[in-house]
């Protein structure tokens, strides 16, 4: 670790010993999590308007629909083969399109 890290640690320890952190505003209260700190600032206002009006971004709605269709297909696995294969292919196409629009890799879905 570098010298600055040790200096910062020492200053924090000294402040704690002197009671500098004892009466901070909001102490003992939950953190305000109304805003997502990882949200793109250019999208913050648009997302707030959508949220306040009970709407969701299109990619979230698409994700929910894909999940529902996937569960439905898994339950209907005994359907006629040609119809089942067509529906799986359609769903896989939707999944690929969804993955292109999803804002993060962790949100991507696997094809069937």
- What average pLDDT does the structure give for the chain? 87
Task: Give the tokens for residue 53.
Answer: 């009006």
Query: What is the tens place of the pLDDT at every residue in 32-48?
Result: 777 777 888 888 888 88
Domains of the chain by residue range:
57-112
Q: pLDDT digits over 90-109, tens only?
A: 999 999 999 999 888 888 99
Distance of alpha carbon 82 from alpha carbon 101, whole angstroms: 29
Q: What percentage of the chain reaches a pLDDT higher than 90?
A: 36
Calpha distance 40→95 (Å, rounded) = 24
Query: Quick check: 1 pLDDT over 70?
Result: no
Q: Are 73 and 112 in contact (CB under 8 A)?
A: yes
pLDDT for the residue numbered 33 = 77
- pLDDT, residue 7, reads 92
Residue 69: pLDDT above 70? Answer: yes
Write down the pTM of the prediction: 0.54
């Amino acid at each position: 670790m570098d010298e600055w890290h040790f200096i910062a640690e020492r200053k924090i320890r000294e402040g704690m010993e002197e009671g500098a952190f004892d009466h901070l505003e909001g102490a003992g209260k939950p953190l305000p999590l109304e805003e997502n700190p990882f949200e793109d600032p250019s999208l913050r206002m648009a997302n707030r308007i959508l949220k306040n009006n009970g709407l969701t971004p299109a990619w979230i709605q698409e994700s929910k629909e894909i999940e529902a269709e996937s569960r439905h297909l898994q339950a209907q696995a005994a359907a006629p083969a040609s119809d089942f294969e067509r529906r799986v292919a359609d769903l896989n196409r939707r999944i690929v399109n969804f993955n292109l629009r999803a804002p993060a890799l962790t949100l991507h879905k696997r094809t069937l």
